[in-house]
Amino acid sequence: MGTVQQSRAQRVAVGCVALIALVVVVSGCRPEPAATPSSSPSITMKDPTPAPSVSPIETQKPQADFELPAACEEIYSAAMLASLESANPPLNDPGVTMLSTENADLLEIIHGGAPTLRCSWGQPSEYGLATNVTVIDDDQTAAILAALPAAGFGCEALGDGTVCRIEQKGVTLDDKEYTRGETHYVGDGAVVTTAWINFAPDGYTEDVVATLFG
């Protein structure tokens, strides 16, 4: 019995040691008491950083002060209109499909949505002309003045703008000779494009320029 009592006494002692160790561990995990605030926290305000200034972006350049005529009769002087009506009527025959130019740069501008007035003279045949008056901006003006000389047009000053011409001769499949050409005027806010075949009235473009641009 002495041995059994001794063994029990040892187990009780070990249990006490374990309990004491647990108390020590738990005591060691207790959070420290929170510090008592001595006063209200002070807040330092900083001036907001100014946002960078944004300049407005110009999305579209204003068109030049050019008023597109409402009708073809308004682009000619009275004398030129009478001459055209006599020499090669009618005005604006619906069957005439001649373009006012074959230059790709000009066609892109004319058919790109710019305000345009189209006028033609004559019936569907190899005798007549077609003219477009198209409103353009400064960038388009510069592009046209660069494109026409590069395409072989001869250019010179006319009034306050520039006139460019090209002409060629040929023979049809029926062995008939023909002469065709283009005359284009680039003015302030507009371009006047004219293509003609076997019909080039003297002073035609000059009359249109004087009527439209003064």
- pLDDT at position 129: 98
Q: What long-range pairs does 173-176 form, CB within 8 A, spacing at least 24?
A: 176/126
Q: How far apart are CA 24 and CA 68, in angstroms?
A: 100
pLDDT digits (tens, 9 = 90+) for 179-206: 999 999 999 999 999 999 999 999 999 9
pLDDT digits (tens, 9 = 90+) for 98-157: 999 999 999 999 999 999 999 999 999 999 999 999 999 999 999 999 999 999 999 999
Six-digit token pair at 206?
Answer: 């000059």
pLDDT digits (tens, 9 = 90+) for 30-49: 343 444 444 433 333 333 44
Q: How far apart are CA 196 and CA 180, in angstroms?
A: 6
SS3 state of residue 158: strand
Q: How far apart are CA 12 and CA 15, in angstroms?
A: 5
The answer to whether the CB of 180 falls within 8 A of the CB of 130 is no
Q: How far apart are CA 169 and CA 171, in angstroms?
A: 7
Decide: pTM greater than 0.85.
no
Q: Is 27 exposed, middle or buried (0-12, 13-18, 19+ CB in 10 A)?
A: exposed
